[in-house]
Amino acid sequence: MREHPFPAIPRPLKAATILSAAMLLSSCSRAVLDPAGDIAAQQRDIIYISTALMLLIIVPVMVLIVVFALRYRKGKGAKYDPNFDHSTALELVIWSAPLLIIICLGALTWWSTHLLDPFRPLDRVSATKAVDPKVKPLVIQVVSLDWKWLFIYPEQGVATVNELVLPVDRPVRFDLTSTNMMNTFYAPTLAGMIYTMPGMRSTLHAVINREGTYDGLSANYSGAGFSHMRFKLHGVKDDGFATWVAGVRARGVALDTDRYLELEKPSQRVPVMRFSQVDGDLFRRILQRCTKPGTPCMTGMHGSQPEEGKPEGAVFKEGQEKKGGESVTPQPGSQSPPPAAGQHHDHHSSLNLNHAAPGTARVAAA
């Protein structure tokens, strides 16, 4: 009797593998394929549409593999034509179908990139409900620390660690930054992931449409405590949100500079923390990297960003926002003004040096 080249897999191991796969798929279904937020729902629809478009090629190819194998197998009696080299109809099918798929995917990508731009304010709460222009978005300032999440509610004057509470059907604007490592803020049921970087501010607009408790995490490796850098996202009604804010104000502690500097130190598996008061200028100082007393802020430095709106730069601006700037390149035919008397201009260096004659000492320019 011939031995099987591979050992048999025990039944308990098979059952455990199937159960693990089912649990992973169910988790994915709850978060990504069954989101509680409108932005995440639109992103899920893009996944469905993209998958369907690609299956238009994959399914026929898989079917044709079986058809060709059965039709042209040896002894079937199919026509044998060794001189075949071209078919216009076949060429049209082979090239036109993938080309149309690519065009559709490109159009979908262009449309979704602009519609779901995280800097773009929401124009709808759900597929059937537009944003009420009288309702002001809830502003939440997000700071990624090592290895925990700090959420500041500037309008409510409270803050939390590893707990995010949002009112249902109210637009939310997240202002995000980081203290040390580059990170990624990701709440799969709410919206797509967005990076947080030290000294830079990102923006994410989103909304949650269903009550419940969901998971959020960091999706970018940032060191030893990365695996446990998670938070809980709670969707509550407006009155529940007001009750939660009142409870934090009544029982929490104040988040002042000293307590923040202690919180900023690397730590793992940090439990939920609530702060009844928070310094209104704390997020700006975190963004400009001057939380420690005596540290100069990054205001006006290269790479600093405006406090409101999109980051500066033409790529982030609309057409009417772009303005002409002073050109630093001389116009064709123009000449640079001659240097003043006593000055030496070196075209090969950005430094003006007094070149001493050989054998003499060099004297630094004043």
> Model confidence over 298-333: pLDDT tens digits?
875 544 455 555 555 444 455 555 555 444 444 555
DSSP 8-state code for residue 320: G
Whether residue 147 has a cis bond before it, omega within 30° of 0: yes
Residues 147-156 pLDDT 10s: 999 999 999 9
Share above pLDDT 90 across residues of the chain, in percent, rounded to a whole number: 55
d(CA 91, CA 107) in angstroms, rounded, equals 24
Looking at per-residue pLDDT, the higher value among 128 and 354 belongs to: 128
The pLDDT tens digits of the residues spanning 198-242 come to 999 999 999 999 999 999 999 998 888 889 999 999 999 999 999
Q: What is the pLDDT of residue 20?
A: 56
pLDDT at 18 over 90: no
pTM value? 0.72
Cβ distance 128 to 122 under 8 Å? no
Neighbours of 129 (CB within 10 A): 12
> In what helix (H) or strand (E) does residue 163 lie, and over which residues does it extend?
strand 163-167
Q: What is the pLDDT of residue 359?
A: 44
Band of residue 72 on the pLDDT scale cut at 50, 70, 90? confident
Tell me the pLDDT tens digit for each residue of 282-295. 999 999 999 998 88
The pLDDT value recorded for residue 15 is 61
